[in-house]
Amino acid sequence: MLHAELERLPNGIRLVTIPDENAESVTFAVSVASGSRYEKPRFAGISHFIEHMLFKGTEKLTARDINRAVESRGGSFNAFTSEENTMFFAKLPCEFLPVAVDVICDMYANSTFPDKEFERERSVVVQELKMYEDDPGTVAGENLGRCLFPRNALGLPIGGNEKALNALSAEDMRAYWRRAYVPSATVVAVTGKFAPGDVSALLSETLGKMKKGRPIKFEKFSHRTPVVSAVSVEKDVQQTQVAIGWRLPFGVRDSRRFGMSVLNAVLGGGMSSRLFETVREKRGLSYDIRSSAQMFEDAGMLCVTGGTDPRRADEMIDVALREVEKLKTKKVGPAELRRVKDYLNGNFRLAFEKPLTRIMYYSGCVFTKDRIENPEVSLKRIEEVTSEDILELANTCLVPRRMAISRVVPK
């Protein structure tokens, strides 16, 4: 697998280079430690809104200039916001790396947030929220987050809410952007075919000129806060959507996350997982049943999600919870453990062929550890997980006081 190097610019920006001489393309990304969990209630959704607005023009580029600069070279261009980060990225034929650097860095450091564009894009963001409100799976998941992380921004939707967004002004956004988008909160990553020295030179003329500043901080989650055990909402749907979750007492820096990855794969990772074989193949209760583990800085969650006939929702929940109980009472056998580790190993290696996966992996290392960790280290830690580790994690984490159930049911 491709390895990376970390370089620090004088103003505090961290640069990750991941060369790939066999590539025909280059992918360039800039990330900032700014996401929904950093936001106070009156600014709920502002990080995601800023992500949209950075495409709307800079001191030298219009919104049309920004889009055409990448697409006219055959490239692709996008961004996303999560609970803890926002990332902007572009993929282009390798000779157009200077274009990617120039456009994204200009957006990142010199956006103007035009008032007319601000009002128009506010409407777009609100419509995006309504789109998610019409998706029962998203509603079930967002409500589960509120149950697992109550009274903390970590449990709230990334996009915020319509009331807070409508109260924002363009000047609010400019002020927040100036506070959040500072060099010490910024990680730049590039992978593909390029000369590493070229990237440093290009950055020194763009983001390297940004002034230093203090990054904003988020409110840490208190694990003493009790979980809200259940929530149910009615929607105009035909299925009942179910999300069962457990709040984990550790985050992305904790070595137990490797054991949780293996536990999750045993429970609901892929079509050979226990949930898929029991809930779908044996019972026919759901078309799509799965589990997923997500880690944040200071907490995490394991979730089971699926949709079913409303008359059989309780049955599906009961079957899923029985599979969880099995993890707490009986060790995973050697053959199953071997199969699951091979699944995770192969899945990781195949995903690592994608440029954006490489960038997200290494950028994540820098954000959480301020250093590069080669992927072989993660694969080795997964290989070291034992059946005893899984049994202990299940009994420590998958307990009723940490559990919540969210449902979206037909009217």
Residue ranges of domains in the chain, CATH in brackets: 5-209 (3.30.830.10), 230-410 (3.30.830.10)
pLDDT computed for residue 1 by the predictor: 84
pLDDT at 396: 97
Distance (Å, whole) CA 372 – CA 35 = 22
Distance of alpha carbon 365 from the chain centroid: 14
CB atoms within 10 A of CB 133: 15
Structure tokens at 388: 């005893």
Beta bridge partners of 234: 409
* Total-model pTM: 0.95
* Predicted local distance difference test score (pLDDT) of residue 53: 97
Compute, in degrees rounded to 10, the torsion defined by CA atoms 138, 143, 147, 149.
60
Q: Rounded to whole angstroms, how far apart are CA atoms 300 and 393?
A: 13
Q: Which residues of the chain have pLDDT under 50?
A: none
Q: How far apart are CA 1 and CA 373, in angstroms?
A: 12
Check: CB of residue 32 under 8 Å from CB of residue 186. yes
Contacts of 53 (CB under 8 A, 6+ apart): 111, 113, 117, 118, 121, 173
Distance CA 344, CA 48 (A): 31
pLDDT in the model for residue 62: 94
Rounded Cα gap, residues 47 and 153, in angstroms: 12
Query: In this predicted structure, what is the pLDDT of residue 87?
Result: 98
pLDDT at 68 (0 to 100) = 94
3-state SS class at 158? coil
Q: CA–CA separation, 397 vs 249, rounded Å?
A: 7
